[in-house]
């Protein structure tokens, strides 16, 4: 049986409740990071398309972050996977991924957002996604529960001019050969987030409806399998100038469990430097700066591949740009600009 079946949403919730009950007895932020790793024991992983600077746009991993803490922003991220990689059998081009997104706090309790994703490969396969996000934030005592959802489409395209068919007897060969085939399907996701002033932890399920690409009724179905994720981070002040923020992200999909962890050190909320590790994949170096009175955030990640290095190029580059939108002027008075910490997660 595939591994990811063991990580169903009820099991996630049960383990999260257990972790939160322990956290109530101790608010030390480092405890949160340790608990997130203890919750899951298997450590089998393989490459999963994702961003290293997901902290600049946490709605990528959990829709419950939409409008979180009433933050309004637009963001764009670019990733050059295995920079300089060239295939000897497929078409031309590189492995590139782009995200464009936005998040708005409509009211202190309601947040909305939009996500657009595009991923292309030289093999002739590309995928795009467009989703609308929504979240409801409920304050209980010293903490806040956030419940989010995403709804939209996933589109997969095969370019038969460069797509290499492995089995010439496959019934879909005639569909892809020398032409372009594309299909869009409905896609949904949900997420839950619990946060306090200096830490947060959440779970999410993407592709919760498990849709299938059928390509005009051909006999071979291509499922869009569910992706389960658990995320957490904490903010630890070191002194008046420095803070450290450890983070953890675990994803379960297609029979694999991919843990990722790291930390950033911030100076005066203006600069950060950090590092991270994605099990079975890469080590990351992180840099970031906040300018224009903390309204424009720019981040950079350099990933060094640590597995299957002979089949790929060693370095991946990623850039994230996020602009925090000032609040509108009300009744002739300037409302202070919301400037949350340089990161969301």
Share of the chain above pLDDT 70, in %: 69
Does 169 score more than 80 pLDDT?
Answer: no
Lowest mean pLDDT among 66-80, 165-179, 246-260: 165-179
Q: What is the mean pLDDT of residues 240-245?
A: 95
Q: What is the mean pLDDT of residues 74-90?
A: 78
pLDDT single digits (tens) 192-208 = 999 998 999 999 999 99
Please spell the DSSP secondary structure of 149-185, one letter per residue: EEEEEEEEEEETTT---S-TT-TTHHHHTTSEEEEEE
Confidence at residue 173, expressed as pLDDT on a 0 to 100 scale: 63
pLDDT single digits (tens) 12-23 = 445 444 444 433
Confidence at residue 78, expressed as pLDDT on a 0 to 100 scale: 92
pLDDT single digits (tens) 279-330 = 988 999 999 999 999 899 999 999 998 877 666 778 999 999 999 998 655 5
Q: How confident is the model at residue 81 (pLDDT cuts 50, 70, 90)?
A: confident
> What whole-number distance in Å separates Cα of residue 308 and Cα of residue 137?
42
pLDDT single digits (tens) 38-56 = 443 333 333 345 788 887 7
Q: Which residues pair with 191 in a beta bridge?
A: 148, 204
> What whole-number distance in Å separates Cα of residue 173 and Cα of residue 297?
46
Domains, the chain, ordered by start: 3-324 (2.40.160.40)
Q: What tokens does 29 get?
A: 């932020």
Residue 1's contacts (CB-CB under 8 Å, 6 or more residues apart) are: none
pLDDT single digits (tens) 131-161 = 999 999 999 999 999 999 999 999 988 776 6
Does 342 score more than 60 pLDDT?
Answer: no
Give per-residue burial for 53-82: e unless 16+ CB within 10 Å, then b.
Answer: bbbbbbbbbbbbbbbbbbbbbbbbbebbbb
Q: Please give the helix or strand (H or E) that residue 3 lies within, else none.
A: none
> What whole-number distance in Å separates Cα of residue 150 and Cα of residue 148?
7
Confidence at residue 182, expressed as pLDDT on a 0 to 100 scale: 82
Q: Between residues 270 and 342, which one has the greater pLDDT?
A: 270
Alpha helices (runs of H) in the chain, residue ranges in sequence order: 9-23, 29-38, 173-176
CA nearest 181: which of 194, 171, 189, 195?
Answer: 171
Does 168 score more than 80 pLDDT?
Answer: no
Q: Checking DSSP bridges between strand 315-324 and strand 73-81, what pairing results, if any?
A: antiparallel
Lowest mean pLDDT among 111-115, 172-176, 181-185, 261-265: 172-176
Confidence at residue 195, expressed as pLDDT on a 0 to 100 scale: 95
Beta strand spans in the chain (E): 73-81, 95-107, 110-120, 125-140, 143-159, 180-195, 199-206, 212-213, 222-223, 227-234, 236-237, 242-253, 256-267, 271-278, 282-291, 296-305, 315-324
Q: Indicate the average pLDDT of the chain.
A: 78
- Residue 221 burial (C-beta neighbours within 10 Å; 0-12, 13-18, 19+): exposed
Confidence at residue 39, expressed as pLDDT on a 0 to 100 scale: 43
Confidence at residue 45, expressed as pLDDT on a 0 to 100 scale: 33
How many of the other CB atoms lie within 10 Å of CB of 90?
A: 15
pTM of the model: 0.76
Q: How confident is the model at residue 165 (pLDDT cuts 50, 70, 90)?
A: low
Lowest mean pLDDT among 104-108, 188-192, 310-314: 310-314
């Amino acid at each position: 049986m595939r591994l990811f079946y063991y990580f169903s949403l009820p099991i996630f919730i049960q383990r999260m409740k257990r972790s939160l009950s322990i956290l109530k007895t101790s608010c030390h932020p480092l405890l949160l990071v340790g608990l997130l790793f203890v919750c899951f024991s298997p450590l089998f992983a393989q490459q999963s398309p994702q961003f290293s600077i997901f902290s600049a746009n946490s709605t990528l991993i959990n829709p419950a972050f939409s409008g979180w803490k009433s933050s309004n922003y637009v963001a764009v991220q670019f990733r050059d996977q295995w920079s300089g990689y060239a295939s000897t059998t497929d078409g031309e081009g590189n492995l590139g991924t782009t995200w464009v997104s936005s998040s708005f706090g409509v009211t202190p309790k309601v947040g909305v957002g939009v996500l657009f994703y595009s991923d292309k490969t030289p093999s002739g396969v590309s995928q795009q996604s467009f989703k609308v996000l929504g979240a409801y934030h409920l304050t209980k005592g010293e903490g806040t529960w956030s419940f989010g959802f995403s709804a939209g489409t996933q589109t997969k395209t095969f370019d038969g001019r460069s797509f290499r068919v492995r089995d010439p007897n496959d019934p879909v060969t005639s569909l892809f050969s020398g032409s372009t085939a594309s299909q869009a399907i409905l896609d949904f996701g949900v997420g839950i987030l619990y946060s306090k002033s200096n830490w947060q932890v959440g779970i999410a399920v993407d592709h919760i409806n498990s849709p299938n690409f059928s390509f005009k009724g051909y006999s071979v179905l291509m499922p869009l399998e569910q992706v389960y994720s658990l995320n957490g981070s904490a903010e630890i002040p070191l002194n008046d100038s420095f803070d450290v923020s450890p983070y953890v992200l675990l994803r379960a999909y297609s029979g694999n469990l991919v843990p990722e962890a790291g930390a950033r050190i911030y100076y005066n909320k203006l600069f950060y430097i950090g590092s991270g590790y994605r099990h079975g994949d890469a080590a990351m170096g992180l840099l970031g700066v906040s300018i224009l009175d903390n309204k424009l955030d720019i981040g950079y990640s350099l990933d060094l591949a640590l597995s299957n290095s002979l089949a790929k190029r060693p370095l991946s580059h990623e850039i994230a740009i996020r602009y925090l939108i000032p609040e509108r002027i009300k009744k002739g008075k300037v409302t202070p600009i919301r400037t949350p910490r340089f990161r969301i997660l």
